[in-house]
Amino acid sequence: MKRLVSLLTSLGVVAALAASATVAAADNSTLATVKERGQLICGVNSGLPGFSATDADGNWAGLDVDFCRAVAAAIFDDPQKVRFVPLTAKERFTALQSGEIDVLSRNTTWTLTRDASLGVNFAGTTYYDGQGFLVKKSLGVDSARQLSGATVCVLAGTTTELNLADYFRKNGMEYNPLVLENSDQTISAFNAGRCDVLTSDQSQLNALRIKLPEPSAAKVLPEVISKEPLGPAVRQGDDQWYDIIKWTLFTLINAEELGVNSNNVADMQDADNPTIRRMLGSSGDMGEKLGLPADFGTRIIKHVGNYAEIYRRNVGADSPLELERGVNALWTDGGLMYAPPIR
């Protein structure tokens, strides 16, 4: 029961915050805790193909999942040393605040309110998304502007819920929001015809459409009504850990830009390019500055690959979703993926 779980997590925050008076005084470095525990605890979506979902053997896979594996690879040199905690949209911040998870990598939109008042820090953007609408073709609708009076299925506790209200109000249209707990419920209500429209981030709509009994009977409308930069988040108050998460992401992006991938990483360690040598730990002490081993970059690329590989494997050409890179291409290719230099 989701309700019970979220209630318990909420109560957990109170208990954990109250109990952590003594803990706060002691060494509360997240990195030390993770190392001592021997594994990273990562909060992910309970089921969103391409981002985080379990396969037939119970293994987690997806873009968000691979990001956590990259962090584990940097710390332990072993991408399997992660425990994944599936969370609903409603539970995610509470789980992070209470210390139940070390990092939240659950297609979470970076917004001012979340950054400033929830006690969390966003480490960057792993996927630039935007909100759209999924409709059945039989409805005969070509544009979101024709949706006045529609019943809209939407996920509880998301920015989507707010964007939806803004969009309909801005355009002077009416709607009935049917707010559901998880994405399986939204797609089943949409399939049963309880709602006319399903709204979510475009990547999710594509992922959910595949779950329909007849995917070709539904289509995503052209309008993108919001900016949804999705990225990993950590608790405030531990800057070292925040830096580790940030630079894990930047390493993935820089590696793509520098042409380093899981196949050539061993050879690249002896490359002439000083930037590559710094990233892979062949020269300099970049890892040490973060509290990580010098070769943390090599570990990440060796086990998980660079950003392009992760994208292609999970949501791109090699996946059922077949999403174009679009705005998620490197800045050198006209996209938005840009990472600060490793120097």
Partner 1 sequence: MNTTTDTTPPARRRPWRDPRVRALTFQALALAAVVWFGWTLLDNTLTNMAERGISTGFGFLDEPAGFGILITLIPYDETMTYGRTFLVGLLNTLLVSGLGIAIATVLGFTVGIARLSSNWLIAKLALAYIEIFRNIPLLLQIFFWYFAVLQNLPSPRQSVTVGEAVFVNNRGLYLPEPIFQSGAGWVAAALAIGIAATVVLARLAKRRQDRTGRGLPVLWPGLTLIIGLPALVYALAGTPITWQLPALQGFNFRGGMAVLPELAALLTALAVYTAAFIAEIVRSGILSVDPGQVEAARALGLRPRLTLRLVVIPQAMRVIIPPLTSQYLNLTKNSSLATAIGYPDLVAVFMGTTLNQTGQAVEIVAMTMAVYLVISLSISSLMNVYNRAVALKER
Q: Which residues bind partner 1 (CB under 8 A)?
A: 1-3, 6-7, 10-11, 13-14, 17-21, 24, 89-90, 93-94, 97, 113-114, 116-119, 139, 147-151, 156-158, 161-162, 164-166, 168-169, 175-181, 185, 188-189, 192-194, 196, 235-237
Q: How far is the CB of 38 from partner 1 (least distance, A)?
A: 25
Give the shortest CB-104-to-partner 1 separation in angstroms: 13
Beta bridge partners of 153: 178, 198
Q: Smallest gap, in angstroms, from Cβ of residue 193 to partner 1?
A: 5
Pairing status of strand 82-87 against strand 40-45: parallel
| Residue position matching structure tokens 């820090």 | 121
CB-nearer residue toward partner 1: 72 or 180: 180
Select 12 or 335, whichever has its Cβ closest to partner 1: 12
Q: Least separation, in Å, of the C-beta of 168 and partner 1?
A: 8
Of 117 and 216, nearer to partner 1 (C-beta) is 117
Q: Convert 133-142 to b/e letters by CB count within 10 Å (16 or more is b).
A: bbbbeeeebe
Q: Measured from the CB of residue 191, what is the shortest distance to partner 1 in angstroms?
A: 9
CA distance 237 to 194: 44
Indicate the residue among 113 and 216 with the shorter CB distance to partner 1: 113
Nearer to partner 1, 58 or 140 (CB): 140
Note whether 100 and 12 are within 8 A (CB).
yes
243, 30 Cβ separation under 8 angstroms:
no
CA–CA distance, 70 with 246 (Å, rounded to integer): 12
Would you say 42 and 68 are in contact if contact means Cβ atoms under 8 Å apart? yes
Q: Contact at 8 Å (CB) between 321 and 203? A: yes
Compute the least distance from the CB of residue 209 to partner 1, in Å: 19
Q: DSSP letters of 121-136? A: EE---SEEE-EEEEEE
Decide whether 187 or 252 has the Cβ nearer to partner 1.
187
Within 10 A of 272 (CB to CB), how many other CB atoms are there?
A: 6
Tokens standing for 258? Answer: 């520098």
Q: CB-wise, 151 or 275, nearer to partner 1?
A: 151
User: Helix axis angle, 30-37 relative to 239-258, nearest 10°?
Assistant: 80
**What does the alpha-carbon distance between residue 101 and residue 94 come to, in Å, rounded to a whole number?**
10
Q: Which is nearer to partner 1, 189 or 271 (CB)?
A: 189
Smallest Cα–Cα separation from 300: which of 268, 325, 333, 340?
A: 268
**Partners of 199 in the β-ladder:** 133
Least distance (Å) from partner 1 to the CB of residue 342?
Answer: 29
Q: In the complex, what is the shortest distance from the CB of residue 135 to partner 1, in angstroms, rounded to a whole number?
A: 10
Q: What whole-number distance in Å separates Cα of residue 205 and Cα of residue 183?
A: 10
272 DSSP assignment: S
Nearer to partner 1, 13 or 329 (CB): 13
Shortest distance in whole angstroms from residue 18 CB to partner 1 = 5
